[in-house]
Amino acid sequence: MDALDAKYPFFATAREAVADAAVSLPELVAADAPAVERARERVERALMDGTVASESGAFPAESAYDAQAELLSYPVARILVSLLDSEPAIEKYAAAEAATAIDRIREDLATDDELRSMSTPTVALDDVLAEFDLADAVRPESPRSDARAGGATGGSGATATGAGGAPGRDPEHYWIAVGPYLRLTSPSWGESWRLVNRALADGEVRVSREELLDALEAAVADRVREGLPFELAAGEGIAAELESGVADLKRLLSERTYAGPVDVVAPDLFPPCMRNLIDKAERGTDLSPPESFALMAFLVGIGMSPDEVVAFCADTSLDAEGIRYQTEYLSDDRGTQYPPPTCETLANYGICHNEEDHMQVAADPLAYYETRVAEADEITDWRERNATAGEAENGPEEAGESEAEAGSE
The answer on pLDDT for 166 being more than 50 is: no
At residue 26, φ and ψ (nearest 5 deg) are: -60, -40
Residue 229, pLDDT score: 94
Q: What confidence category does residue 159 fall into, taking pLDDT thresholds of 50, 70 and 90?
A: very low
pLDDT in tens, 22-32: 888 999 999 99
In the predicted model, what is the mean pLDDT of the chain? 83
Q: Which helix (H) or strand (E) holds 109?
A: helix 87-110
Tens digit of each residue's pLDDT (9 = 90 or more) over 9-20: 999 999 999 998
Q: 41 or 169, which is more confident?
A: 41
Element (H, E) at 210: helix 209-225
Do 312 and 304 meet the contact criterion of CB atoms below 8 Å apart? yes
- Distance of alpha carbon 260 from the chain centroid: 23
Q: Tell me the CA distances in angstroms from 42 to 51, 72, 103, 196, one per residue in order.
A: 8, 11, 16, 39
Asked if residue 101 has pLDDT above 60, the reply is yes
Lowest mean pLDDT among 95-104, 228-237, 376-385: 228-237
Mean pLDDT, residues 348-355: 85
pLDDT at position 234 over 90: no
Q: Is residue 358's pLDDT more than 70?
A: yes
User: Does 321 have pLDDT greater than 70?
Assistant: yes
Is the pLDDT at 334 greater than 50, yes or no? no
Sign of CA dihedral 317, 319, 320, 326: negative
pLDDT at 338: 54
Q: Is the pLDDT of residue 154 over 70?
A: no
pLDDT tens per residue, range 134-151: 999 999 998 665 545 444
Mean pLDDT of 116-132: 83
Q: Under a CB-based contact definition with an 8 Å cutoff, are residues 50 and 95 in contact?
A: yes
Beta strands in 256-370 (DSSP E): none
pLDDT at 403 over 50: no
Q: What band does 54 get if pLDDT is binned at 50, 70 and 90?
A: very high
Question: Using 50, 70 and 90 to split pLDDT, how confident is the model at 388?
Answer: low
State residue 175's pLDDT score: 97
pLDDT band at residue 113 using 50, 70 and 90 as cut-offs: low
- Residue 364 or 42, more confident: 42
Distance separating alpha carbons of residues 186 and 215, to the nearest angstrom:
9
pLDDT for residue 267 is more than 60: yes
Write b or e for each residue in 348-361: b if 16 or more Cβ atoms lie within 10 A of its Cβ, otherwise e. bbebbeeeeebbee
224 vs 240: CA distance, rounded Å: 24
Residue 394: the pLDDT is 56
Residue-wise burial string across 13-50, b where 16 or more C-beta atoms lie within 10 A, e elsewhere: ebeebbeeeebebeebbeeebbbbbbbbbbbbbbbbbb
Q: Which residue has the higher pLDDT, 275 or 338?
A: 275
Min mean pLDDT across 13-22, 205-214, 256-265, 355-364 is at 256-265
* Mean pLDDT computed over 386-402: 56
Give the DSSP H or E segment for 229: none
Residue 87: count of CB within 10 angstroms of its CB: 12
**What does the alpha-carbon distance between residue 202 and residue 211 come to, in Å, rounded to a whole number?**
20
pLDDT band at 407 (very low <50, low <70, confident <90, very high): very low
Residue that wins the pLDDT comparison between 170 and 204: 204
